[in-house]
């Protein structure tokens, strides 16, 4: 019986990324249904195993640490070898940028289907049944994985972090033989101020064409800063097409699908392609001067009015609240 679950952790610069806690929590849920154990695959730089040991708090029984180059194809080989060595009913990734790069390579090595961006999970008759958005969230598909292990990546901020504390054993696994893969990572150029990806943020402050000018973004940046370090900026496509903001910030059907606990749509009209990317957010706030803007149709709370005045007043009010 393939009862164990392999949770693939993301370790960056010696730190486990917070999304990995969700991955382990989701893996624990599956393992409890299958009556198996949770192993963590920590494939990363020196010390990745020790960094991942804390995942015991969320239900990891064992951490399998492979010290390898950060390069995605090398990590894929390492994770696929770990997956093959165990008897896993499921392998769980995070549907983050790195997770989306890694998971399909592992799936191909295991000759297995892969379900991306899962938002709900069931175990039925020993098989994984996952729910995932299709048509950018205009519908949800319930999909059964016929084989084992079932490979899936979970959408950040949906499953949440659960405590299921235990002492995770850390076992070092020797890395796969080095091979020339024809893939070399060169430099990295940071773009200004985009430390937290919009798809992973708990709070998203999104700006639309009604912001009028890229020069006005400092107003939204200030609101983001007021909301704390789990907040990130988003944008409508109109703004990205105009070259005001990078595509990495675009929310919607041809951008990112986000599920923050709070989404603020600032001067965004609410076109169908935009709604597709954010309608599953926890709480939606819309600020728009047009009371008939479609965005109000999905917003929990709306303010009709000028975005500039409202955004500044909101930043001030949030700061006051945080300081009190």
Partner 1 sequence: MNITVCVKRVPDTATRIRIADDGRGIMQDGVKYVLSPYDEFAVEAALQLVEAAGEGQVTLLSYGPPATAETLRSGLALGAHRAVLLTGEPDMDGWATAQVLASELAGSDDALVLFGIKAVDDDQQQVGPMVAELLGRPCATAVAAMDVEGGVATCRRAVEGGQEVVEMDLPAVATVTKGRYEPRYASLRGIMMAKRKPLVEKPAPEVESGLVVEALTYPPERPDGRIVGEGVDAVAELVRLLREEAKVL
Ligand X SMILES: Cc1cc2nc3c(=O)[nH]c(=O)nc-3n(C[C@H](O)[C@H](O)[C@H](O)COP(=O)(O)OP(=O)(O)OC[C@H]3O[C@@H](n4cnc5c(N)ncnc54)[C@H](O)[C@@H]3O)c2cc1C
- Contacts with partner 1 in 239-298 (CB under 8 A)? 240, 247-248, 250, 253-254, 257, 261-262, 272-273, 276, 279-280, 282-285, 291, 296-298
The partner in contact with residue 269, picked from ligand X, partner 1, none with C-beta cut-offs of 5 to 8 angstroms by kind, is ligand X
Q: Which does 53 bind (CB under 5 to 8 A by kind): ligand X, partner 1, none?
A: none
Segment 279 to 298, residues that bind ligand X, using CB under 6 A = 288-290, 293
Residues 216-275 that bind ligand X (CB under 6 A): 236-239, 250-255, 267-269, 271, 273-274
Question: Could you tell me if 63 and 168 are in contact, meaning their C-beta atoms sit under 8 angstroms apart?
Answer: yes
- Binder of residue 166, out of ligand X, partner 1, none (CB less than 5 to 8 A by kind): none
Residue of 75, 72, 148 lying closest to 110 (CA atoms)? 148
Q: Which of residues 106-125 bind partner 1 (CB under 8 A)?
A: 107-109, 111-117
Residues 165-224 that bind partner 1 (CB under 8 A): 181-191, 194-195, 197, 200, 203
| CA neighbor of 106 nearest in space, from 84, 87, 79, 86 | 79
CB of residue 203 vs ligand X: minimum separation in angstroms? 18
Radius of gyration of the chain (CA): 21
Please state, in angstroms and as integers, the Cα–Cα distance from residue 146 to each residue in 5, 94, 112, 115, 127, following that order.
16, 21, 10, 12, 7
Indicate if the alpha-carbon torsion angle 55, 59, 65, 71 is positive or negative.
negative
Residue recorded with tokens 């070259």: 243
Q: How far from 216 is each of 173, 175, 204, 219, 258, CA to CA, in Å?
A: 51, 50, 17, 6, 23
Measure the CA–CA gap between 42 and 34, rounded to whole angstroms.
22
CA atoms within 13 A on the CB side of 231: 18
Residues 133-162 that bind partner 1 (CB under 8 A): 133-147
Residue 20, binding choice from partner 1, ligand X, none, Cβ under 5 to 8 Å by partner class:
none
- Residue 3's CB is within 10 A of a number of other CB atoms, namely 17
Residue 113 interacting entry, from ligand X, partner 1, none, C-beta within 5 to 8 Å by type: partner 1
Minimum separation from the CB atom of position 73 to partner 1 (A): 7
State which residue, 112 or 164, has the beta carbon closest to partner 1: 112
Rounded to an integer, what distance in angstroms lies between the CA atom of residue 113 and that of residue 156?
A: 20
Question: Which one of 33-41, 98-106, 169-177, 208-216 is the stretch in contact with ligand X (CB under 6 A)?
Answer: 208-216
How far apart are CB 19 and ligand X at their closest, in Å? Answer: 22
In the complex, minimum distance from the CB of residue 13 to partner 1, in angstroms, rounded to a whole number: 12
**Collapsed DSSP state (helix, strand, coil) of residue 201:** coil
290 binds, among ligand X, partner 1, none (CB under 5 to 8 A by kind): ligand X
Least distance from partner 1 to the Cβ atom of residue 65, Å:
23
- Inter-axis angle of helices 97-109 and 72-85, to 10 degrees? 50
The residues of the shown chain that bind ligand X, judged by CB under 6 A, are 208-210, 236-239, 250-255, 267-269, 271, 273-274, 277, 288-290, 293, 306-307
């Amino acid at each position: 019986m393939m009862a164990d679950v392999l949770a693939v952790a993301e370790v960056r610069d010696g730190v486990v990324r917070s999304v990995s806690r969700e991955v382990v929590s989701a893996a624990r849920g599956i393992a409890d249904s299958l009556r198996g154990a949770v192993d963590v695959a920590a494939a990363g730089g020196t010390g990745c195993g020790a960094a991942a040991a804390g995942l015991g708090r969320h239900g990891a029984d064992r951490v399998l640490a492979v010290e390898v180059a950060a390069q995605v194809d090398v990590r894929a080989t390492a994770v696929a070898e770990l997956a093959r060595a165990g008897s896993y009913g499921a392998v769980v990734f995070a549907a983050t940028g790195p997770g989306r790069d890694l998971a399909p390579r592992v799936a191909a090595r295991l000759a297995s289907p892969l379900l991306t961006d899962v938002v709900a999970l069931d175990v039925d008759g020993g098989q994984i049944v996952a729910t995932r958005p299709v048509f950018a969230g205009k519908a949800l598909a319930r999909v059964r994985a016929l084989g084992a292990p079932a490979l899936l990546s979970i959408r950040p901020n949906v499953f949440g972090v659960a405590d299921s504390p235990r002492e995770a054993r850390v076992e070092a696994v020797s890395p796969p033989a080095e091979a020339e893969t024809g893939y070399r990572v060169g430099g990295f150029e940071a773009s200004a101020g985009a430390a937290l990806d919009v798809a992973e943020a708990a709070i998203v402050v999104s700006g639309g064409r009604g912001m009028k000018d890229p020069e006005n973004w400092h107003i939204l940046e200030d609101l983001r800063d007021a909301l704390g370090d789990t907040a990130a900026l988003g944008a409508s496509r109109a703004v990205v097409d105009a070259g005001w903001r990078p595509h990495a910030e675009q929310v919607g059907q041809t951008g990112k699908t986000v599920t923050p606990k709070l989404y603020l749509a600032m001067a965004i009209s609410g076109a169908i392609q935009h709604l597709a990317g954010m309608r599953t957010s926890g709480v939606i706030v819309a600020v728009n001067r047009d009371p008939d803007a479609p965005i109000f149709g999905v917003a929990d709370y709306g303010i009709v009015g000028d975005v500039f005045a409202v955004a500044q007043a909101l930043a001030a009010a949030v700061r006051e609240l945080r300081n009190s």
